[in-house]
């Protein structure tokens, strides 16, 4: 990357490390940032350091949050007996967008994937069992993605929870098979939650 002044080269290199951003796009973004006024550039830099400094996992549901516990976990108007188990933090946002789910969540941060060496201990499964054991939870809604990994993870969790006094349900297949919860539209996801069945 010759022909770039050092600081520009550094910016291009850092931007190019982001997913989906090649060197060409990184260069374009770097020039765009260069043309921003100082205040906007500072705000952008501040937003990046801000998420790293202030965002952590909720100690209860493992959603990303800047307060402990997170806004959803601390909301007394929500149904804390019902826990929707999702793969990743953006899935929570997807269900919240439906406006129809009033329970709380549990974010696994992944799915079981033996080929990638991801076993149960890599997910927040022990914490889920602990939440169920605490006695408040009466229903676990498995909302992992309807693909191979999501299905096998749902089956595994159902097996683990089998002995415990909790109802285990799975969201309906309103979410197209092979697709992801995060990208399902709010209406589809709302119906999938409504049509959940015993698992
Ligand atoms: Zn939480």
In degrees and rounded to multiples of 5, residue 89 shows phi and psi of -50, -40
Q: How far is the CA of 39 from the centre of ligand 1 (A)?
A: 33
Question: Which pLDDT score, from 0 to 100, does residue 160 have?
Answer: 94
Contact 127, 137 (CB under 8 A): no
Residue 141 burial by Cβ neighbours in a 10 Å radius (0-12, 13-18, 19+): buried
Q: What is the pLDDT of residues 163-197, one digit of tens each?
A: 899 999 999 876 565 667 777 778 788 878 888 88
Contact 106, 124 (CB under 8 A): yes
With left for phi above 0 and alpha for psi between -120 and 50, is residue 117 left, alpha or beta? Answer: left
Instruction: State yes or no: pLDDT of 90 exceeds 70.
Output: yes
Q: How far is the CA of 66 from the centre of ligand 1 (A)?
A: 10
pTM attached to this predicted model: 0.80
pLDDT (average), residues 90-97: 94
Q: What is the pLDDT of residues 135-148, one digit of tens each?
A: 899 999 999 998 88
What is the greatest pairwise CA distance in the chain? 66
Distance between CA atoms of residues 176 and 160, nearest Å: 26
Which residues are in the CB-under-5-Å shell of ion ligand 1? 58, 60-61, 63, 69-70, 73
């Amino acid at each position: 990357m010759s022909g770039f002044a050092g600081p520009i080269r550094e910016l291009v290199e850092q931007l190019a490390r982001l997913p989906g951003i090649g060197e060409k796009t990184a260069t374009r973004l770097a020039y765009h940032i260069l043309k921003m006024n100082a205040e906007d550039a500072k705000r952008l830099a501040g937003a990046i350091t801000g998420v790293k400094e202030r965002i952590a996992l909720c100690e209860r549901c493992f959603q990303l949050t800047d307060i402990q516990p997170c806004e959803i976990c601390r909301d007394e108007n929500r149904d804390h007996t019902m826990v929707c188990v999702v793969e990743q933090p953006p899935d929570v946002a997807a269900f919240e967008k439906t406006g129809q789910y009033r329970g709380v969540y549990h974010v696994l941060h992944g799915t079981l994937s033996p080929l990638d060496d991801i076993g149960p201990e890599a997910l927040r499964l022990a914490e889920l069992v602990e939440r169920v054991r605490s006695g408040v939870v009466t229903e676990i809604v498995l909302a992992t993605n309807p693909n191979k990994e999501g299905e096998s993870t749902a089956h595994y969790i159902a097996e683990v929870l089998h002995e415990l006094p909790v109802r285990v349900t799975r969201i309906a297949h309103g979410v197209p098979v092979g697709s992801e919860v995060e990208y399902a539209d709010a209406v589809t996801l709302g119906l999938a939650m409504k049509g959940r069945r015993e698992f």
